[in-house]
Amino acid sequence: MITSKVKKHKNTFRLFSSFLIQYLCLCLLLSLSPTFVHASDRSTILLGQSCALSGPARNLGFNMRAGLQAAIAEINDKGGVKGRTIQLRSKDDGYEPDKAIKNTLELIQDDQVFLLIGEVGTPTSKAVLPLIDKYKIPFFAPLTGAELLRTPAHQYVINIRKSYYQEMEALVSHLTDTLGMQHISCFYQNDSYGFAGLEGVKRALGKRNMQLTSMGSYERNTIAVMGGMKSIYKKNPEAILLVGTYAACSEFIKLSKVKYPGKRMFGNISFVGTKSLQEALGHYGEDVIVSQVVPFPWDDTLPLVTEYRYAMTKYQRNTPVGFISLEGYIAGKLFAAIAEAVVGNLTREKFIQTMYKVGEFNLGGVKIQFNTKNDPGMDTIGLTTIYPTIQKLEKR
């Protein structure tokens, strides 16, 4: 009986000792854990980016990130923002909405980023919009011209580029008003990005009392273009406007020129990735035009472009100069300009308030305006040809 009681007490002591050891270990771990510091109190300003760094759209993500990194490195070398350095944390979403949601939650909750910058794509941006509103975090300079980020206006979405509607108006104007074409078709990605571009084409044609000759689509992150191509060529278009990424659009254009020979124009909006499209097409790049929403990256008359090219050579020498990386560079420089203008502690609300209060930022000859919520950002839109080299398309 006594032996049984002794055993019972020993077991109780062992159990207590085990709990005590676990408790002491937990206390030790907590004491060694880094103290939580709110994003606005850090010596480093941490920015978060979810973008495609893998898959058929990866060049878009790599180039946008490279431009951002070049701007950030340049700013940090000059002392940062009020003595605070900037750091960019990028996560790969493969241009897939579900991964973008996961990345965004991690950046907001785990990494405690100050804001989100340079999101690449319409479907991914659309997917994270509810998180932007929920956490009241600025969604700065996304690489998309989709109307869903503009209408209705979102308090925390900050666009700096023109919309796809405006890009399509420029393309349609050139094809119809300048070249006199009447039969225009549209090949588009079967998601929110493609639908935004498609609607832009319809609106631009509608202003001219015209309709699409034919339509065809493909699925995101594929180059399965044959089905859409057959739908397009049931009619005989004079021009085809494409709303896709460089991999699918280059496949469509090359196969079109082989299977359906004849003289016709192909027009792409800026998100296609001009440099990547040019490289993918090679000698098939003739009669291909692309609309642009940033200045010409080889225009040395603009101080901003000179600064950009120097920064890319110094900090991102393995990334070629181009429109997407320039857009990233502009986004990084603009963030710093707004943050520097904030009076007192840098908070998300003060950042947005300051942006509208200052109203206009001049980055090396390029003005970016926020004194109107209807059409903020850069007043830049133009057309380029890509063969044999990328050139501005001069107005006739």
Task: Check which CATH number belongs to the domain holding 375 and give it.
Answer: 3.40.50.2300
The pLDDT score that the predictor gives to residue 33 is 34
Domain assignment of residue 22, yes or no: no
Domain count, the chain: 2
Segments of the chain scoring below 50 in pLDDT: 1-10, 12-13, 15-16, 18-40
Residue 104 lies in a domain: yes
Q: Is residue 194 part of a domain?
A: yes
- Last residue in a domain, options 270, 292, 314: 292
| 238 and 254 co-located in one domain | yes
Burial 40-57 (b: 16+ CB within 10 A, else e): eeeeebbbbbbbbbebbb
Residues 286 and 303 placed together within one structural domain of the fold: no
Q: Which residue range forms the structural domain that includes residue 284?
A: 164-292
Residue 233 and residue 252 share a domain: yes
Per-residue pLDDT tens digits for 250-302: 999 999 999 999 999 999 999 999 999 999 999 999 999 999 999 999 998 99
195 and 315 assigned to the same domain:
no
Query: Is position 4 within any domain?
Result: no
In a domain, 367, yes or no: yes
200 and 109 in a common domain: no
Q: Provide the CA 349 distance to its chain's centre, in angstroms.
A: 22
The answer to whether residues 248 and 308 belong to one domain is no
Residues 245 and 202 in one domain: yes
Of 99, 169, 91, the closest CA to residue 128 belongs to 99
- Is 17 among the domain residues? no
Indicate whether 217 and 191 sit together in one domain: yes
The whole-number pLDDT of residue 394 equals 75
**Is residue 218 domain-shared with residue 111, that is, in the same domain?**
no
Domain closes at, from 252, 269, 292: 292
Q: Looking at the domain assignment, is residue 361 inside a domain?
A: yes
pLDDT of residue 374: 59
Asked whether residue 170 falls in the same domain as residue 288, the answer is: yes
Residue 148 belongs to some domain of the structure: yes
Whether residue 141 sits in one domain with residue 287: no
This prediction's pTM: 0.89
Same domain, 104 and 49: yes
CA distances to 27, 37, 46, 110 from 34, rounded to whole Å, are 13, 9, 16, 13
Which of these three, 258, 274, 292, is where a domain ends?
A: 292
